[in-house]
């Protein structure tokens, strides 16, 4: 199936929004701790590398979509303290855990953003898109709110294409993450769901093709920690 067909098909419909909100409300209190444990301390480094890739400039207006506890906003703020930053998420309990002053908080669904066209110079989204009911629609909405030539950074768990690493990665996701995540968060179903969304999501090649059908061009894609996560830098086609 081509990515175009995929985009239009039912398979693009991710988990329903209400279920996603419930899952993130449940795991919000332990979300940051679990990220650190499950990524073996790598997730903070991934966001730092990704922040440098998107290279925000003084005074620019940036959107951190699916911001969760604001970890990406904090990484951006570290390298550019005077960035005008908006953190949006549709799950109030997780967004409320964002440190004060990291960004302006907005409760919003990424599929229907409450911003005018061409509001932002750039956007970031980390580990959020694969939870969207329709990731292609989310990317188009991001293109809408970006200024012409605006840039973005998607940090995501894309399926590795190398079979050796892919095998280890699948084992890690199937066995270790649901077990440790379940024990520490108290919600086995939440972590089963989260790893399930990774298996069902795009490979790197498929994702690049999706991005290029939604108003962007891919500028650079960088594998992090042997491809466990991928940072994709994009630019809006003017
Ligand atoms: C795995 S967390 C990522 C949080 C943060 N970006 C990070 O790097 O840790 C995914 C977030 O996406 C949010 N999310 C999922 N679907 C969304 C949507 N349609 N609109 C807005 N936020 C959404 C969830 O509420 C959750 O906070």
Question: CATH number, domain at 224?
Answer: 3.40.50.150
Note the pLDDT tens digit of each residue in 146-161.
999 999 999 999 987 7
Name the residue with the closest Cα to ligand 1, atom 1.
127
For 124, 149, 216, the CA distances from 143, given in Å and listed in that order, are 12, 10, 7
Residue 185 lies in a domain: no
Q: Is residue 165 part of a domain?
A: no
* Residue 10 scores a pLDDT above 80: no
Q: Report if residue 192 sits inside a domain.
A: no
| Pocket mutation for ligand 1, best pick of 30, 125, 131, 197 (most atoms within 8 Å of C-beta) | 131
- At residue 93, the pLDDT reads 96
48-77 pLDDT per residue, tens: 999 999 999 999 999 999 999 999 999 999
Render pLDDT for 178-203 as a digit per residue (tens, 0 to 9): 888 888 888 888 888 888 777 778 98
* pLDDT(6) > 80: no
Task: Give rounded-to-5 percent helix, strand, coil for the chain.
Answer: 50, 20, 30
CB 146 within 8 A of CB 176: no
Atom index in ligand 1 nearest the CA of residue 138 equals 19
Residue at 141 is within a domain: yes
**Cα distances (Å, whole numbers) of residue 105 to 20, 23, 68, 199, 228:** 19, 20, 10, 31, 29
- Exposure of 64 in the CB half-sphere (CA atoms within 13 A): 28
Q: By residue range, what is the domain housing residue 32? A: 3-160+202-236
193 within some domain: no
Instruction: Please report the pLDDT score of residue 7 as a whole number.
Output: 45
Q: Decide: 231 and 50 in contact? Cβ < 8 Å.
A: yes
Of all residues in the chain, the percent with pLDDT exceeding 90 is 63
Going by CA atoms, what residue is nearest to atom 8 of ligand 1? 126
Asked if the model's pLDDT at residue 4 lies above 50, the reply is: no
Report how many domains make up the chain. 1
Q: Is residue 168 part of a domain?
A: no
**Are 94 and 24 spatial neighbours (Cβ–Cβ below 8 Å)?**
yes
Mean pLDDT on 202-223: 94
13: pLDDT strictly greater than 70: no
Q: Which two tokens stand for residue 224?
A: 């992090």
């Amino acid at each position: 199936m081509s990515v175009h067909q995929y985009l239009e098909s039912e398979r693009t419909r991710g988990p329903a929004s209400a279920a996603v909100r419930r899952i993130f409300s449940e795991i919000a209190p332990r979300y940051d701790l679990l990220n650190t444990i499950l990524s073996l301390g790598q997730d903070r480094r991934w966001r730092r590398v990704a922040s440098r890739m998107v290279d925000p400039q003084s005074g620019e207006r940036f959107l951190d979509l699916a911001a969760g506890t604001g970890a990406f906003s904090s990484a951006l703020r570290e390298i550019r303290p005077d960035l005008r930053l908006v953190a949006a998420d549709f799950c109030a309990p997780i967004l409320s855990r964002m440190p004060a002053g990291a960004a302006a908080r907005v409760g919003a669904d990424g599929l229907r953003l409450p911003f005018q066209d061409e509001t932002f110079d750039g956007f970031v989204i980390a580990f959020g898109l694969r939870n969207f009911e329709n990731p292609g629609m989310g990317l188009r909405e991001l293109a809408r709110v970006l200024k012409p030539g605006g840039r973005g950074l998607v940090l995501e768990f894309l399926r590795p294409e190398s079979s050796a690493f892919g095998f280890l990665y699948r084992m890690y996701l199937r066995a270790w993450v649901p077990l440790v995540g379940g024990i520490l968060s108290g919600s086995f179903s939440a972590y089963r769901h989260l790893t399930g969304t990774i298996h069902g999501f795009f490979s790197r090649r498929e994702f690049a093709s999706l991005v290029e059908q939604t108003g962007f061009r891919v500028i650079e894609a960088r594998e992090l920690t042997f491809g466990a996560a991928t940072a994709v830098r994009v630019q809006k086609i003017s």
